[in-house]
Structure 1
Amino acid sequence: MEGCPTQTERAMSYPVDILANGDWDTLKQSSEAYLSRLRNRDKAATEIFRLINGEKLAVTPSTVTFLHVHREDNEHRVLGLLNPQDNQAVVAVYLGERWWVLDDALRTSNDARRELVQSVAEQIVLYLLNRIIYRRREFLPGNILFLHHPANQFAKIFWKNGEAVGFYTVKQKGSLCTDCTSQCYQLPVLDTLFVRQSYQRQGIGLKILHEFCSIFSGDEAVGISRPISGAMYKVCSKYLYSRPHEQERVWEVEAPGDWSQRVNVWLQIQMGAIPSVITDTTAGGNPSLPSPEEE
């Protein structure tokens, strides 16, 4: 299957495995020490990094930069290697005392990995998926740009075949809507959802929606952030058609999600209020889902 690591690659330990118990202070010290060595290195001893396609890049102070993993601070950061031909293109990250191409930084040797984003390495994987893979590589006109994730946000990475293929984040009930207001979310809200292009149309969006609703099954209502794309509405249509007991429970909401700021998703589908939604939910095949919220 496309995107699957080989047997040899599966035997490796990747950053998310190696740094399972890592901390930001150690990572910061390692990065700063490496950058200091790089700046003091003799030009005749330039380090060369080889990409997967065989291309060789010189690692110099001008091609290395700090990437800020969380939007609210400058301390949580990692070193990124830039392509000299495009100083916006990150091609590798420095973790565990070495450089890793992005493909390997997004892999795991643990096929059973399926957990909340908690460790330092998982936070970095979430950053790479959102800010590098989605925003720089797979963003299409008409898609929704996701904000830089805060450190304390509820987030889960979706792993498949030993590869990080997507993520979703949740605004939890009772959490502040923003740092500039005292308003809190009145229900749990599925805030962002992204699946990489090579793994779309495999039912992952449907699985994530089911997982979200199941995690918060004790809540009378759950929300999905407005605006919901037509593609995401297709996922909702299929999910709610097969689970009638959820139809009155899922809402499209604006923060903080009181009754004047929510509309029932199933009602919207039944009324045909979303033109791009396939309302014939008896159809057997998966709908085409071309945007990041879809699958």
Structure 2
Amino acid sequence: MEFPVDLLRDTSHEDLESCAEEYMSELADRDLDQLEYFTQPNNEMVVVSISSVGFVPLYGSDEACKVLALFTSENPFSAVALYLVDQWWAVEDILKTSDNFRNGLIQECKKEQERILHSMDGLM
């Protein structure tokens, strides 16, 4: 199984944000009887709706780069999932990897993908 850290190798900030904006537009146009759910690692279901998602800055307070996050009504200040590479990912799974040669954090960001991953680590 591949995880976002494996799939984001050739993804730019613009691609992430553009896909999320398209998804958000589709979500806003859906009928209320077409509910989507995200299953958390603890098997709790979260309704994905226009009122439970929002953009969060990827780099602290820098609003230039944003990712789409999913929140629960019980805790609207802590994301339970992020929308990356056209699907929802549990926050716990974002930095997992299927690459046996990756171990620990990368100390120096040489690529935009590495910078994205370091920022996601800060969101958790």
How high is the TM-score relative to the length of structure 2?
0.87
| Letter matched to residue 121 of structure 2 | L
**TM-aligned CA deviation for residue 72 of structure 1:** 6.0
Task: Provide the C-alpha distance between the structure 2 equivalents of 1:80 and 1:37, rounded to a whole number of angstroms.
Answer: 15
| Letter matched to residue 123 of structure 1 | R
Task: Provide the C-alpha distance between the structure 2 equivalents of 1:128 and 1:34, rounded to a whole number of angstroms.
Answer: 20
Task: Provide the C-alpha distance between the structure 1 equivalents of 2:101 and 2:54, rounded to a whole number of angstroms.
Answer: 33
Aligned to 1:56: 45
Alpha carbons 1:92, 1:100 under 8 Å: kept:
yes
What SS is found at the alignment partner of 1:129? helix
**Pairing 1:15–2:7 present:** no
What SS is found at the alignment partner of 1:66? strand
**Pairing 1:128–2:98 present:** no
**TM-aligned CA deviation for residue 127 of structure 1:** 2.5
Aligned counterparts, 1:120-159, within 5 A:
120-132=112-124
**TM-aligned CA deviation for residue 130 of structure 1:** 2.4
Q: 1:79 aligns with which of 64, 68, 76?
A: 68
Runs of 4+ in 1 over 6 A off after TM superposition: none
* Structure 2 runs not aligned, ≥5 long: none
Q: Which has the larger radius of gyration?
A: 1
**Pairing 1:26–2:15 present:** yes
The 1:120/1:99 distance shift into structure 2, 3 A limit, reads farther
Aligned to 1:96: 85
**Pairing 1:44–2:36 present:** no
| Letter matched to residue 77 of structure 1 | K
Task: Provide the C-alpha distance between the structure 1 equivalents of 2:72 and 2:46, rounded to a whole number of angstroms.
Answer: 7
Coordinate RMSD, CA, aligned: 1.7
Aligned counterparts, 1:130-209, within 5 A:
130-132=122-124
Task: Provide the C-alpha distance between the structure 2 equivalents of 1:120 and 1:61, rounded to a whole number of angstroms.
Answer: 29
Q: With CA pairs under 8 Å and 6+ residues apart, which has the higher RCO, 1 or 2? A: 2
How high is the TM-score relative to the length of structure 1?
0.39
Aligned residues: 121
**TM-aligned CA deviation for residue 117 of structure 1:** 2.8
**TM-aligned CA deviation for residue 123 of structure 1:** 2.8
| Letter matched to residue 29 of structure 1 | S
Counting aligned pairs with the same residue, the percent is: 31
CA offset digits 1:22-74 (Å, max 9, x no partner) = 11111111010000001111010011111111111100111101110114632
CA offset digits 1:170-221 (Å, max 9, x no partner) = xxxxxxxxxxxxxxxxxxxxxxxxxxxxxxxxxxxxxxxxxxxxxxxxxxxx
The 1:51/1:110 distance shift into structure 2, 3 A limit, reads same
